[in-house]
Structure 1
Amino acid sequence: MPTAPEPSISAKDKRPTKAQLSWLARGRDEPGGKLPLFTPAGQRVNDRMVKSCLAHGWAEPWFENPLKPNWLVCKLTDAGRAVLADANAD
C-alpha cells in the first residue's frame, strides 16, 4: 500500500481551497471515503491538488491502481472529514 507523507504541524492549521473542499466533499458519501479521479466535467483531477491534500493529511492513498500506476487512488481521512465539517460550520 502506498504511504502518505506525514502532515506538518503548520499544515494542520491551513484551510483548504474551494477546489480542495469540493474534491474532498465528493468522498464524504462514497464507500470507504473514496475520492474521485475525475471532476464532474470528466477531466482528470489535478495532481498538485491531490498531493497537497495528501500533504495536509486530508486524504490518504488507498491502493495502487494496476491499470494506471501513476494515478493516486485516495480516500478521505478523519482530518479531511473535520475540515469539511469546519467549512460547513462557517
Structure 2
Amino acid sequence: MAGTGKSADRKTGKAAAKASATEQPTAAQRAWLTRGLDQPGGKLPLFDLNGQRVSTRMVRTCLDKGWAEPWFENPLKPDWLVCKLTVAGRRVVGGD
C-alpha cells in the first residue's frame, strides 16, 4: 500500500511532538515523568511510590504524547512497558 510506512511514522511522531508542546500532563502523569529526571537514562518507574504498578493507560498516553518512549523489552515480564523520558518529556516537567 502506498502512503504507509516510514512517512506515516514520521507524521505520527511530528503530531506527537506538536501535541506535547501545547498540552500539559495531568498531576499523575507529571509525578511519573518527574521521577525519571533523577534516573540513569531517564528510566521511568514501573511502580508508584506506594508499590502499586503504574497505570498502563497513563503510560500509553505519555507515549502517545511523545513524553516517554519504550526503552527495552523486559524478558521476564513482556507485557510491562519499560520506558524512558524523551526530550519533550523533560521539557514538559521542567527538567530541561
TM-score, structure 2 as length reference: 0.79
Query: Deviations for 1:40-59, whole angstroms, at most 9, x for unmatched residues?
Result: 10000000000000000000
Matched letter for residue 81 of structure 2: L
Q: Is there any run of 5+ residues in structure 1 with no aligned partner, and where?
A: none
Counterpart AA for 1:55 = D
- 5+ long unaligned stretches in structure 2: 1-11
Highest RCO, 1 vs 2 (Cα 8 Å, sep ≥ 6):
1
Deviation at 1:11, TM superposition (A): 4.8
Structure 1 stretches of at least 4 aligned residues deviating more than 4 Å after TM superposition: none
Q: Could you say what secondary structure the match of 1:48 adopts?
A: helix
Aligned-pair Cα RMSD in Å: 1.6
Q: CA deviation at 1:8?
A: 6.2
Q: Which residue pairs with 1:57 in the alignment?
A: 66
What's 2:29 paired with?
20
Alpha-carbon contact 2:36-2:43 (below 8 Å) kept: yes
The share of aligned pairs that are identical, in percent, is: 61
Q: How far is the alpha carbon of 1:85 from its aligned partner? A: 1.1
Q: 1:52 to 1:35 in 2, by over 3 A?
A: same
Letter in 1 for 2:71: W
- Counting only pairs closer than 5 Å after superposition, residues 4-19 of structure 1 correspond to structure 2 as 6=13, 7=16, 9-19=18-28
